[in-house]
Amino acid sequence: MSPLLVVDGLVKEHRRGRHVVRALDGVALTLERGEALGLVGESGSGKTTLARCVLGLTRPDAGSIRLDGAELVGLAARARRPLGRRLALVAQDPSAALDPRLTVRALIEEPLIVHRTGPRAARAVRVFEELEAVGLSAGQANLYPHELSGGQRQRVSIARALVLRPELVVLDEPVSALDVSIRSQILNLLDERRRATGCAYLFIAHDLAVVRALCARLVVLCAGRVEESGPCAEVLAAPQSAYTRELLAAVPGAAKR
């Protein structure tokens, strides 16, 4: 079976007047079905641009992105639409990602309505299944985002992303805006949901310890290029690139004991 996602030779340039920045400079990676792949890099490394290209929010200048063998680059908007069921995003800041005027229930139901997944009663069943799966109670379904804590809001974002049972979820720094005591709760939930649903994660993070906790493999991006990739255990134990070694050396002492 072919890999779920194959990215090859991806190039994206941002232009400001005469100024050209190569955000992605020939990035290649593959992601297997059900796999969690960590994408690590500093600000400006191109990790968010790569995620935007995969989600179809940014059009790359060159290269290819194949989902299940089918090319996504250059697809017309109408042809892209069905992909919305197969790809999902969990953003960094759930307070910004959730419409403040919708209840938890409406937020989770919205993707089901947009993609016309059947009658109201069936949707309601799905919403409550998903609500329970992310550890929220039925009583919280009628609350608004501002009535929830940061961790609960991120649980809603995860439910909203997973409600259509996508094959690939892009997670852009999903725990870095959360309080420290909440982060491992959400990492545990993400790991459990991936195992239960079989979806694959493209997990963007700057924190190597967080990536190691959730992903079996990682890709290190630097200035739009893949600096190094491989199983987390190998890359972290014996990094081949000087840049990865520098990143590892900068991790504060307490994480390395």
Q: Which residues bind other proteins (CB under 8 A)?
A: 42-43, 149-152, 179-185, 187-188, 191-192, 206-210, 212-213, 236, 246-257
Q: What are phi and psi of 164, to 5 degrees?
A: -90, 10
181 sits in which H/E element: helix 180-197
Cβ–Cβ < 8 Å for 224, 27: yes
- The closest alpha carbon to 115, from 86, 151, 135, belongs to 86
Helix (H, G, I), strand (E, B) or coil at 31: strand
Tell the smallest beta-carbon distance from residue 253 to other proteins (Å). 4
Q: Give the nearer residue to other proteins in terms of CB position, either 185 or 241.
A: 185
Length of the chain: 257
Q: Give the nearer residue to other proteins in terms of CB position, either 109 or 173.
A: 173
Q: Give the nearer residue to other proteins in terms of CB position, either 81 or 245.
A: 245
Tell the smallest beta-carbon distance from residue 147 to other proteins (Å). 10
Tell the smallest beta-carbon distance from residue 212 to other proteins (Å). 6
Query: Radius of gyration over alpha carbons of the chain, in Å?
Result: 19
In angstroms, the CA 249 to CA 246 distance is 5
Q: Give the nearer residue to other proteins in terms of CB position, either 86 or 206.
A: 206
**Spacing of C-alpha 247 from chain mean position:** 21
210 sits in which H/E element: helix 208-214
- The closest alpha carbon to 155, from 207, 94, 100, belongs to 94
DSSP string, 58-86: S--SEEEEEETTEE-TT--HHHHGGGGGT
Q: Give the nearer residue to other proteins in terms of CB position, either 2 or 188.
A: 188
Q: Give the nearer residue to other proteins in terms of CB position, either 117 or 240.
A: 240
Tell the smallest beta-carbon distance from residue 85 to other proteins (Å). 28
Tell the smallest beta-carbon distance from residue 252 to other proteins (Å). 4
Q: Give the nearer residue to other proteins in terms of CB position, either 126 or 183.
A: 183
Tell the smallest beta-carbon distance from residue 91 to other proteins (Å). 18
Tell the smallest beta-carbon distance from residue 54 to other proteins (Å). 23
In angstroms, the CA 41 to CA 161 distance is 24
